[in-house]
């Protein structure tokens, strides 16, 4: 009896895996089509100063109106693009779009000189020798100052012994970009290793923020540790996913410098956010 059940479960598992693989492959074909036919657009999510609540930065988030990708969202289609080798085109398209925006709004940017656009770049590029060269070409083509761009790399992608990613980050830093570690707290970076990277900013992952106010204090403990460490290393801090006033107050009291989340604003088109920073 037990044996028979086991066998059936195994078959069921096989079928599920097969189906998941098939769906990912199908999604990869949609991403391919979207890349080739330019079916992406960008939204901008305000990042506000904790004390003044004025917009300091804006994070660019990719979207698509192409139904299969609209349904999946970037959390699903970006990993597929990474797996199928299509991510470089996407990352460079996003970066080029941002360079264009900065070029077209040079006056605004230089008047409001602290403002930055934050761009998510896949950790795949940390192992892509072409990437920095392509970025240099973009800077040349648009003749913009990279200090208006912050590059976000997810923390989970960093391995301290990996010289190549360290070199790519160093080159980006030397070109003049700011660098932020995204989803911070979810990876394994020992605090002491942070000095090895040219990092300016830590983005505290939304999963910890959403735990504020829970009976278990785990989220708060992680947040406090990150904030006090950031302070001693003189790193900027941004908390992600602020939805309630309780979360806002907690992070404010503990010295988090900047925040983003639905409490302040949802992501919006450039023309809308432009009104706020003019």
Dihedral (C-alpha) 185, 186, 190, 194: value to the nearest 10 degrees? -70
Q: φ and ψ at 240, to 5 degrees?
A: -100, 150
| CA gap 166, 169 in Å, rounded | 5
Nearest to 264 by CA among 98, 74, 58: 58
* Residue window 132-171: x/- pattern of binding to ligand C2E, with contact defined by CB under 6 A: --------------------x-------------------
Strands 236-239 and 201-204: parallel
Q: Does 73 bind ligand C2E (CB under 6 A)?
A: yes
Out of 49, 83, 96, 243, name the contact with ligand C2E by CB under 6 A: 243
- The residues pairing with 201 across neighbouring beta strands, listed in sequence order, are 180, 236
Q: Least separation, in Å, of the C-beta of 253 and ligand C2E?
A: 19
Q: Does 182 bind Mg ion (CB under 5 A)?
A: yes
Indicate whether 255 belongs to the interface with ligand C2E (CB under 6 A): no
Residue 271: phi, psi to the nearest 5? -60, -30
Stretch that binds ligand C2E, among 13-21, 72-80, 129-137, 223-231 (CB under 6 A): 72-80
> Binding of Mg ion at residue 189 (CB under 5 A)?
no
Alpha carbon of residue 59 to chain centroid: 8
Write the DSSP assignment of 246-270 as a string of letters: HHHHHHHHTT--EE-STTT---B-H
Choosing among Mg ion, ligand C2E, none, which partner's interface includes residue 91 (Cβ < 5 to 8 Å by kind)?
ligand C2E
Contact region with Mg ion (CB under 5 A), list: 96-104, 185-193, 219-227, 234-242: 234-242
Contacting positions for Mg ion (CB under 5 A): 120, 152, 182-183, 240
* Interface ranges with ligand C2E (CB under 6 A): 60-62, 73-75, 78, 91, 94, 120-122, 152, 182-183, 206, 240-243, 260-262, 267
């Amino acid at each position: 009896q037990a044996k028979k059940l086991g066998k059936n479960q195994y078959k069921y598992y096989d079928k599920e895996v097969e189906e998941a693989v098939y769906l990912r492959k199908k999604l990869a074909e949609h991403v391919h089509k979207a890349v080739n036919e330019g079916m992406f657009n960008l939204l901008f999510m305000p990042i506000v100063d904790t004390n003044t609540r004025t917009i300091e930065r804006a994070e660019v988030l990719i979207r698509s109106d192409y139904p299969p990708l609209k349904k999946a969202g970037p959390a699903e289609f970006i990993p597929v693009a990474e797996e199928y080798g299509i991510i470089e085109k996407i990352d460079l398209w996003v970066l080029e779009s941002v360079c264009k925006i900065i070029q077209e709004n040079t006056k605004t940017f230089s008047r409001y000189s602290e403002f930055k656009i934050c761009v998510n770049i896949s950790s795949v590029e940390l192992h892509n020798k072409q990437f920095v060269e392509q970025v240099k070409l973009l800077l040349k083509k648009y003749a913009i100052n990279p200090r208006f761009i912050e590059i976000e790399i997810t923390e989970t992608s960093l391995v301290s012994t990996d010289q190549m990613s360290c070199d790519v980050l160093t080159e980006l830093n030397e070109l003049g970009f700011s660098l932020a570690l995204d989803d911070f707290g979810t990876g394994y970076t020992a605090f002491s290793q942070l000095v090895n990277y040219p990092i300016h900013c830590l983005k505290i992952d939304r999963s910890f923020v959403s735990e504020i106010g829970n009976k278990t204090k785990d989220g708060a403990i992680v947040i406090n540790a990150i904030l006090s460490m950031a302070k001693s290393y003189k790193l900027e801090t941004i908390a992600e996913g602020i939805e309630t006033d309780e979360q806002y107050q907690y992070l404010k009291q503990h010295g988090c410098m900047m925040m983003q989340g639905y409490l302040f604003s949802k992501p919006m088109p450039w023309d809308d956010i432009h009104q706020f920073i003019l």
